[in-house]
Amino acid sequence: MINLEVPKKAGALVNQAYQAAAEVFRPISRKYDRAEHTYPAELDMFAALLDGLNSSGEGGAGAAGVRRSEKNEKPGNRNGSNLNIVLGTIEMCWGDVGLLLSMPRQGLGNAAIGSVATDEQLKKFSGLWAAMAITEPDCGSDSAAITATARLDGDEYVINGEKIFVTAGERADAVVVWATLDKTKGRAAIKSFVVEKGTPGFEVVRVEHKLGIRASDTAVLRFENVRVPKENLLGTPEIDTAKGFAGVMQTFDNTRPLVAAMAIGVARAALEETRKILADAGVTIDYDKPVHSQHAAAATFLQLEADYEAAYLLTMESAWMADNRKPNSLQASMAKAKAGRSVVEITLKCVELAGTLGYTEESLLEKWSRDAKILDIFEGTQQIQQLIVARRILGKTSAELK
């Protein structure tokens, strides 16, 4: 039976993540929001700490990935690294989501490697900071429309194409690139490849200026006849039209709960700050009285909290299912859709409830409202998540329901 309460054994990890967020992230949050594209050197110490947590199997606030099977695994329910990572991510993003996205070796590409790499690949890429490169200039939400190519030439793949909006694309040591082996065979031919920085033909074209998560770099990358060893292909090189897109898409089952957790952390930060502002203004939030009999601001706040709780529970469920080796594609998309939409609505409404304090830099509320929007967009937009959920529930294919 699933239990969505925080496991007791995760208490120490959650407390450590909260302390890091409160004592390091939160104090420098505004500094690196203003100093866009400046690497936060304060993060190096915490990256080393998370490396230790992840290597010990305890999980931290990074991207460990979901392993679908383990040797000598004991029967029964488990609360493992996926749930720990979600809980840690919530706490760290309560501090600052942009700073978490800037953490070395905690990129979304690391989640891809951790999820589908072989044991040999896990060893080979250990300690590597990997970004994820999927989106292209003419390919946004439809990942199946990828045009970047990977051609096998002897013992190497030759990669050509351009990728945009790559989080940590400039700072990371490597990039997990999605490319097609054969455009004529559709989405089944799309595979992911680890391309390390310094490989000839691999160029960082520019770094984008953004609305939010300014502490994190977002880059445009170009690949011109980039040669990588064939061992750098994640998963199987065979093109299985029956299996289709499932191989590379499995990565999203792992990263979408992480992005949902990021949204929950930001939403909680906004709610806590707004509660303090309302209290200072003399507005009492009473959980024992009906909503309609309370101050309008209190009634709105209670509605926002309910929205937050629903997103939180969906995210916990998707992480728990991953820990217990249960297919979680539907739940991962539900969590991402709910949390992504909720964090945008919650942060904007908190800005409104806070009045002038919410719109100035006296508070971080305006920053959180800017950071929130990306959490509803990357790793699959709100509309794409709803489409995936509808297909799963109705039993429709992507061709039947577009």
Chain mean position to CA 320 = 16
* Measured distance CA(223)–CA(195) in Å, rounded: 10
* Measured distance CA(391)–CA(402) in Å, rounded: 9
Contact 263, 339 (CB under 8 A): yes
* Residue 224 known to be catalytic: no
Q: Is 296 exposed, middle or buried (0-12, 13-18, 19+ CB in 10 A)?
A: exposed
Task: Say which of 58, 91, 317, 379 is annotated catalytic.
Answer: 379
- Which residues pair with residue 161 across a beta bridge? 223
- How far from 254 is each of 82, 281, 325, 370, CA to CA, in Å? 8, 42, 12, 25
> In 3-state terms, what secondary structure has residue 247?
helix
Closest CA to 281 of 290, 293, 273: 273
Structure tokens at 379: 């790793």
What DSSP line would sit under 187-199, residue for residue?
A: GGGEEEEEEETT-
Q: Determine phi and psi for 388, rounding to 5 degrees.
A: -65, -45
* Measured distance CA(292)–CA(294) in Å, rounded: 6
- Which residues pair with residue 32 across a beta bridge? none
Phi-psi category of residue 367: left, alpha or beta, with phi > 0 → left and psi -120 to 50 → alpha:
alpha
Chain mean position to CA 86 = 10
Structure tokens at 342: 């909720």
Say which amino acid occupies 360.
T
**Max CA distance (Å), the chain:** 73
Contact 176, 148 (CB under 8 A): no
* Measured distance CA(355)–CA(357) in Å, rounded: 5
- How far from 35 is each of 74, 75, 191, 209, 371, CA to CA, in Å? 48, 50, 36, 11, 15
E-only strand ranges, 169-316: 174-180, 190-196, 202-207, 218-229, 233-234
Which active-site residues does the annotation give?
Answer: 379
